[in-house]
Amino acid sequence: MFRQQEIQLKSTDQIALMREAGLLVARTLERPRDAVAPGVSTGDLDALAEETIRDGGGVPSFLGYHGYPATICASVNEQVVHGIPSRAQVLAGGDLVSLDCGAIVGGWHGDAAITVPVGAVDPAYGRMAEVCEDAMWAGIAAAHAGGRLTDISHAVERAVRAGGRYGIVRHYGGHGIGTEMHQDPHVLNYGRPGRGPRLIPGIALAIEPMITMRSPDTVELDDGWTVVTRDGSWAAHTEHTFVLTDDGPWVLTALDGGLGRLGDAVTARQPRD
């Protein structure tokens, strides 16, 4: 499963191009995020995202991917990932929606996701979304040159477990990213540290924990895409694309490069935008 030779390492110039894609994804996600409200459809959110990507000179990477019919995935409540946006799916107060978005700029990919409350949600769900995001950042912070891939996996799991009794979805995970959206290696969101490929500068990964209120088991709906929890419990999903530089992780899909969450220690010497 772990084949070092399959991992595409990015040069400094290529990383600069990936930053363009990452920034476009970051700016794009702000639009549907700010539009989320009771009465808004996930199809409306999708249209906003597509317009923003195209205006920014990018191409939506999900659209047409293995036949996927939209720009974003919008996964509501018990939907975990890959929910297909629709004008018929109207958000209601109290819902929890994950918005996943990818774009290609100049041949390079960015991929990110956020989980957003619709109006006032049960605090238990807001807390789950927070734990999911914290776990993603913990995973990214665990990446350092000379370490191993599963250091990230382990850090994600630890942070989820520290946050509460959530299910960690096992069937899906993070991935390498670059000239394709999905590259080697697959990144589990759980496991022992110190395994797998060595982390070296130039490796670019999308880290995306998916957690649930109860069982981590999932099923795919008949539409061939939408992944829901088997027990109907609600889920959260958060994702960022980062590249490991000589100075630590640089979060390409965060407007601030991850500075706010990772702290000066690892990002102080990152390239400035």
Number of residues that bind ligand MF3 (CB under 6 A): 11
Single out the residue of 101, 97, 91 nearest to residue 28, CA to CA: 101
CB of 81 to ligand MF3, least distance (A): 7
Number of residues that bind Co ion (CB under 5 A): 2
Residue 34 burial (10 A CB sphere; 0-12, 13-18, 19+): exposed
Answer yes or no whether residue 46 interacts with ligand MF3 by CB under 6 A. Answer: no
In Å, what is the CA distance from 176 to each residue of 58, 203, 205, 226, 240? 20, 8, 4, 22, 12
- 């992780």: which residue's tokens? 249
Nearer to Co ion, 121 or 172 (CB): 172
Answer yes or no whether residue 133 interacts with ligand MF3 by CB under 6 A. Answer: no
- Interacting span for Co ion (CB under 5 A) from 52-60, 108-116, 216-224, 242-250: 108-116
Please identify which residue in 80, 152, 203, 206 interacts with ligand MF3, judged by CB under 6 A: 206
CB of 123 to ligand MF3, least distance (A): 27
CB of 143 to Co ion, least distance (A): 16
Maximum separation of any 2 CA atoms in the chain, in Å: 49
Answer yes or no whether residue 74 interacts with ligand MF3 by CB under 6 A. Answer: no
- 């956020």: which residue's tokens? 114
- Sequence-ordered list of residues with C-beta below 8 angstroms from that of 122, at least 6 positions apart, any chain: 94
Answer yes or no whether residue 2 interacts with ligand MF3 by CB under 6 A. Answer: no
Answer yes or no whether residue 102 interacts with ligand MF3 by CB under 6 A. Answer: yes
Contacting Co ion within 201-240 (CB under 5 A): 206
Please identify which residue in 20, 78, 95, 111 interacts with Co ion, judged by CB under 5 A: 111
DSSP conformation class of 4: G
Q: Summarize the chain as % helix, strand, coil (round to 5).
A: 30, 25, 40
State the residues that interact with ligand MF3 by CB under 6 A: 62, 65-66, 68, 73, 82, 100, 102, 111, 206, 208
